[in-house]
Chains A and B, each alone.
Chain A
Amino acid sequence: MKQWLAIHLPRLSLESLAAGQDSPLAVSEYRAGRQQIIICNQAATLAGVSPGMPAAVAPALSLSLRILPREPGKERAALEGVAVWASRFTSHVALAPPHGLLLELAGSRRLFGGFRVLLPSLQRGLGELGYGFHMALAPTPEAALLLARSGRRRWVTDLAGLRRVLGPLPLALLPLPSGRLDDLQGLGLRSLDDLLALPPAGLRRRIGSEFMDWLERLLGRAPDPRPRFQLPDCFQRRIELPAEVCCRQALLFPARRLLLELSGFLTAHQAGTQRLAWTLGQGAAGERCFHLGLLVLERDPDRLLELLRERLERVELSAPVREIALEVRDLQPLAGRPLALFAEVEGVDAELGLLERLRMRLGVDAVSGLQVAPDHRPERAWRWADPGSGVTAMTEVERWRERPLWLLPEPRQLRVQNGRPWLGGRLELGVERERIESGWWDERPVARDYFMARTASGRRLWVYQELHGERGWFLHGCF
């Protein structure tokens, strides 16, 4: 027995254009021969604006009211965004445009631990995405949509119960052909029960077969296959911001919505990603693109938001931002995290966490490790490395016993007085010297005699004398 969950988003016209706006906002559309307000937000309602009002009249009620034209394209994109997010719960998602979505949940019920767990999880997620919704569960898609559109929260799991729930519904809610509603109400019929009590053949002649077929599908007597929503292979979504945004903090709200949808997309594909391509549209000033690169595959929206927050610090915003877009193409398989029997210590995650946070904020080049390289020439005996990758080969340790802790980037030439090197005072040279001659193979030959030296104040230095050429003295490191 299939279980269809219908999600109706009554305020999608508004929420797809402007999320979380405090100033009065209304959406208008051309209906019945004039521009009408079809929906408005809470601030506008308080000012007195209501649906059905002519759009020419509304601005008189509130000076700061903004009226946006309805954009079906954006509504469709937003609906598809929610469908992508909902794919994490089931593989069978169907669109019921303009404002509805259907999820077939019979298969997912057991996986998610029953409806008692699944439904609140869905509700929380929709709330986080920022959409107002009505939900209903029924054995047939049409019934679920009907209940959700009328705002009745019902969870019906079998056909008998469905008949009981649908019976009292008033006729006005049913998609009757125009004009028939008055006729039927004139006959004294009030609810669906009354309608179903009449002989079906006569009803079909009077109301039309289209409605009767719909009724059959509603009650589960006829099949109602719904085409599946096809999940795209890559994630591409763009949100236009209702007002220009100048500060980074405010960008995080639409970014969070994008990340939630991305998370649903990745869960549905059972994948994670290491590369997110963000684009900030700045209107006439062009676009600012940047990447968020990760060390491990990730799909958790909270973690991605944290990393984005750090990364945004390094992005220059030369002009206010008007839209934000996210594209993810590179998917790799990532299994779900298995439930641990005991709470594990989050050791490994915390280490990677610090590294990633530092990289996001300071740039990849700012964070690195060190490595030794097998070369006799001191300045080439070390290398930059990825943190954590320096291999400890302890075999050559003894020979490097007397290396200074700090090596100058370039050897510094020292003055010579009386045949001895001089740096702020006479340098005392140690007795032992180390001769390093190497590097003939790559055009950087080195021929030096290294000495340990001590300054008048007691600091230990590493100096050398060139063996060829001018035989000058140089400072190369400090201990």
Chain B
Amino acid sequence: MNLDRLLQQHPELQRGRHLVPAPQPAIASGFPLLDRHLPGNGWPHRAITELLVSGNGGYALALLLPALSRLSRKPPWIVLVAPPQIPYAPALQAHGLDLSRLLLIRSTREQERQWALEQALRCGSCSAVLAWPGRLDMTALRRLQLAAEAGDSIGFLLRSSSAAEQASPAALRLRVEPAVDGWRLDILKRQGGWPMADLMVTTDH
């Protein structure tokens, strides 16, 4: 059995410097420089991606928009669970997001937000779910991961960067900071590769 096949069949084995192609399909992020460094060349499908941000992380939405816009062209929902502010509809539309597929969930209770997040991931009728969850422990994260697998969706969790030290079963973890004309990303965890720091991704329009 040669080395490549072994690495493909066992994603927990990692090679030193090169990325192993991911077994799950991925959604292209719209930023080629980022895609090159992500397993499968995109956001991992059927999994949770954690984005660790400072403040309320509004600047990170633009990083996800190209992928969300593409996903919004097909039937199921794009769900936003408890965003810190209301996203501005004309801007979303300008980026190509189909507003008729957008579902916004607002609730004051943390428990209800988590329940809604899990329901949306699991139901099979959402292609992507963005959430700003509060404190999440390992069990809750694992449940969300399983829910994303069961429901064939992508989950994006925007959490505060203090959660970077916490272990997490998410398939992909990035720390996102704003930078001139774009973002500075540190890849904290990715499948089939080592962590990577200081990736500068620019918006190119």
Query: Which residue numbers of A lie inside 8 Å of B, CB to CB?
Result: 347, 350-351, 353-355, 357-358, 361-362, 365-372, 378, 381-383, 385, 387-392, 394, 397, 400-401, 403-409, 454, 457-460, 477-479
Given the complex, which residues of B lie within 8 Å of A405, measured CB to CB? 58, 61-62, 65, 87-88, 91-92, 95
Could you show 27 A-B contacts with beta carbons less than 8 Å apart? A350-B124, A350-B125, A351-B125, A357-B119, A358-B116, A362-B107, A365-B106, A366-B105, A367-B104, A367-B105, A369-B99, A369-B100, A370-B87, A370-B92, A372-B89, A381-B90, A382-B89, A383-B89, A390-B89, A390-B100, A391-B99, A400-B93, A403-B88, A404-B88, A405-B61, A405-B87, A405-B95
Given the complex, which residues of A lie within 8 Å of B30, measured CB to CB? none
A351-B77, A354-B77, A372-B93 given; A407·B99 CB < 8 A: no
Residue B103 is within 8 A (CB to CB) of chain A in the complex: yes
Given contact pairs A370-B99, A409-B86, enumerate 14 new A-B contacts (beta carbons under 8 Å): A347-B75, A355-B103, A358-B105, A358-B116, A367-B103, A371-B89, A372-B90, A389-B100, A391-B100, A405-B95, A406-B58, A406-B61, A408-B85, A479-B62
Residue B94 is within 8 A (CB to CB) of chain A in the complex: yes
CB distance from A436 to the nearest CB of B (A): 13
Given the complex, which residues of A lie within 8 Å of B93, measured CB to CB? 372, 392, 394, 397, 400
Contact with A along B69-104 (1 / 0, CB 8 A): 000000111000000011111111111001111111
Residue of chain A at shortest CB distance from B55? A459
A390 to B94, CA, bound (A): 14
A79 to B91, CA, bound (A): 61
Given the complex, which residues of A lie within 8 Å of B58, measured CB to CB? 405-406, 478
CB distance from B137 to the nearest CB of A (A): 22
Given the complex, which residues of A lie within 8 Å of B102, measured CB to CB? 369-370, 387, 390
Given the complex, which residues of B lie within 8 Å of A378, measured CB to CB? 88, 90
Residue B180 is within 8 A (CB to CB) of chain A in the complex: yes
Contact B88 A477 (CB under 8 A): yes
Question: CB within 8 Å of A: which of B141-180?
Answer: 177-180
Contact with A along B25-63 (1 / 0, CB 8 A): 000000000000000000000000000000000110110
Contact A362 B94 (CB under 8 A): no
A358 to B120, CA, bound (A): 9
Contact A370 B178 (CB under 8 A): no
A370-B99, A392-B99 given; A358·B119 CB < 8 A: yes
CB distance from A231 to the nearest CB of B (A): 37
CB distance from B100 to the nearest CB of A (A): 5
Count, A-B residue pairs, CB within 8 A: 137
Residue B126 is within 8 A (CB to CB) of chain A in the complex: yes
A407 to B125, CA, bound (A): 28
A351-B75, A370-B87, A458-B180 given; A478·B94 CB < 8 A: no
Contact B92 A388 (CB under 8 A): no
Contact B59 A350 (CB under 8 A): no
Given the complex, which residues of B lie within 8 Å of A404, measured CB to CB? 88, 91
Closest 3 CB pairs of A and B: A390-B99, A382-B89, A403-B91
Residue B112 is within 8 A (CB to CB) of chain A in the complex: yes
A463 to B35, CA, bound (A): 33
Given the complex, which residues of A lie within 8 Å of B106, measured CB to CB? 365-366, 368
Given the complex, which residues of A lie within 8 Å of B180, measured CB to CB? 454, 458
Given the complex, which residues of A lie within 8 Å of B86, measured CB to CB? 370, 382, 406-407, 409
A362-B112, A392-B93, A400-B91 given; A369·B104 CB < 8 A: yes
A371 to B102, CA, bound (A): 10
A381 to B104, CA, bound (A): 17
A372 to B94, CA, bound (A): 11
Residue of chain A at shortest CB distance from B72? A392
Contact B178 A459 (CB under 8 A): yes
Residue of chain A at shortest CB distance from B101? A388
Given the complex, which residues of A lie within 8 Å of B107, measured CB to CB? 362, 366
